[in-house]
Amino acid sequence: MASQADPDAKIEIGERVVTLLQSKGVGQYEEQDTQIKQALADAFEENEDYRRSAQTLATINLESTQKSVTPDEKAKVWIRIVRCYLEEDDPTSAYTHLNKIKNIIFSVQDKATKVMFHLSQARILDSQRSFLDAAQAYYGISNEPLVDSEERDGFLGRAIICTVLAPAGPQRGKMLAKLYKDDRASSADDFAILEKIFLNRLLTPAEIKAFSAKLDPHHLARGSDGLTVLDKAILEHNLVGASKLYNNIGFDQLGELLGIDAEKAEDYAAKMLEQGRLAGYIDQIDRYVFFEGEASGERKTGHAERVVGKELRKWDANVTGLAEEVEKVTSMIQNQHPDFYAAQVVH
């Protein structure tokens, strides 16, 4: 297919040739089949039809019986498929092919292919909202000498964004420290918000709004609770910030500080305490959260008293309600069937 031909012409000719080869038995023409499909994929990408490019590349026989296909050759095809699906915002299909590369990545020699693998992995983790893992992957690429310096700065910025969006706690704290101490970070666009979060300072609505303007759509998608990933990240950060400012705080005051109602504030605090992302305990009788030093990052197996306390309140309410219903039924029987009631009462 001539390089000067327009993409549509390339596609038309390429598809005819592929069909012709199939009719003659592709096994005899595997090398030609691969070359045609690579050129077809190029044409689809010129038309920004990345899905059809990926689908075409996926039909290339990489388990040939005619010749040995090296791990590098396989990885280059698969990484191209992954990138095409990521262009189509289809991380699920991209992940399927990324897993194929994982099985051979230690045998791949080409450094550029390895870098593309790690970048694709970072993008998929980001899209799956595994923000801490994504941040670590982006940060690794930001230190890769093979990558252009301007692009490295961009990946450092992605690492900062993903770290901000990651769940608050000791693991994120370690990543924040790594980024904050990096000499390049002070020049990053989001250094101010990185610094505030690292130093456990509360964020203002204006700072949050400015930061949110830089985020991707999947960062701003709302969950079943109506909150975005950013909303949750900021809420949890401010909760950690509150733990540095106060020894204890009432549910109502905490809710006001976080911009949510008291019950949600209690639930968020309880969840973070249980997951070891906050240190302290909850007094449900007086409706207070007590903070105690640094979080361990380990789940608290003995934190059931919070749940038990809430469940006991529900149990008490249910028992009280049942007792009231029994009393109503007893009164009704006494009024409507006095003889029966008198016979049943033990004197």
Closest CA to 167 of 276, 303, 287: 276
Q: Are residues 269 and 256 part of one domain?
A: yes
| Domain membership flag for residue 249 | yes
Listed residue (15, 97, 102, 30) closest to 61, CA to CA = 30
Output the average pLDDT for the chain.
84
- The more confidently predicted of residues 268 and 316 is 268
**Is residue 262 situated within a structural domain?**
yes
d(CA 341, CA 325): 17
Looking at per-residue pLDDT, the higher value among 336 and 258 belongs to: 258
Q: What is the pLDDT of residue 316?
A: 58
pLDDT for 300: 59
Q: Are residues 250 and 282 in the same domain?
A: yes
Give percent helix, percent strand, percent coil of the chain, each to the nearest 5: 70, 5, 30
- Considering the domain architecture, whether residues 53 and 9 belong to the same structural domain is answered as yes
Q: Which of 67, 88, 120 is the last residue of a domain?
A: 67
Same-domain check for residues 295 and 309: no
What's the pLDDT score for residue 208? 87
Same domain, 337 and 288: no
Last residue of a domain, one of 300, 321, 336: 300
| Residue 242 pLDDT class (50, 70, 90 cuts) | confident
The reported pLDDT for the residue numbered 8 is 84
Task: Kindly state whether residues 295 and 311 are assigned to the same domain.
Answer: no
Closest by CA to 240, choosing from 136, 170, 299, is: 170
pLDDT of amino acid 315: 57
pLDDT, tens only, 280-317: 888 888 888 888 767 655 665 554 444 445 445 555 56
Q: Which residue has the higher pLDDT, 189 or 337?
A: 189
State residue 157's pLDDT score. Answer: 96
Among 10, 41, 67, the domain-final residue is 67
Q: Are 144 and 111 in contact (CB under 8 A)?
A: no
Please report the pLDDT score of residue 308 as a whole number.
44
pLDDT band of residue 170 (cuts 50, 70, 90) is: confident
Q: pLDDT tens for residues 210-223?
A: 899 889 988 888 87
Q: Which segments of the chain are extended strands (E)?
A: 248-250, 280-283, 288-291
Looking at the domain assignment, is residue 242 inside a domain? Answer: yes
Please state the rounded mean pLDDT for residues 218-244: 84
Same domain, 324 and 290: no
Mean pLDDT of 237-254: 86
Does the pLDDT value for residue 339 go beyond 70?
no
Q: Is the pLDDT of residue 123 over 70?
A: yes
Say if 7 falls within a structural domain: yes
Task: Compute the distance between CA of residue 200 and CA of residue 241 in angstroms, rounded to an integer.
Answer: 5
Confirm whether 328 is domain-assigned.
yes
DSSP 8-class letter at 61? -
Evaluate whether residue 261 is within a structural domain: yes
Q: Could you tell me if 289 and 321 lie in one domain?
A: no
* Same domain for 308 and 296: no
Note down the domain range covering 247.
Answer: 232-300
- CA 156 from chain centre, in angstroms, equals 18
Q: Does residue 139 sit within a domain?
A: no
Q: Do 291 and 253 belong to one domain?
A: yes
Buried b (16+ CB within 10 A) or exposed e, 156-168: bbbbbbbbbbbbb
Residue 292 near residue 300, CB atoms below 8 Å: no
pLDDT digits (tens, 9 = 90+) for 2-29: 455 687 888 888 888 878 877 766 566 7
CATH number of the domain within which 283 lies: 1.10.10.10
**CB atoms closer than 10 angstroms to residue 63:** 6
| Structure-block tokens of residue 225 | 């609770």
Q: Domain for residue 162, yes or no?
A: no
Beta-strand ranges (E) seen in 192-263 are 248-250
Closest by CA position to 60, among listed 89, 45, 44, 81? 81
As a whole number, mean pLDDT of residues 218-236 equals 84
The 10s digit of each residue's pLDDT in 61-94 is 888 767 788 999 999 999 999 999 999 999 999 9
Minimum mean pLDDT among 4-18, 239-253, 259-273, 309-323: which range? 309-323
The answer to whether residues 269 and 319 belong to one domain is no
Domain count for the chain, please give it: 3
- Tally of residues, the chain: 347
Q: Does the pLDDT of residue 225 top 80, yes or no?
A: no
Are 308 and 293 in a shared domain?
A: no
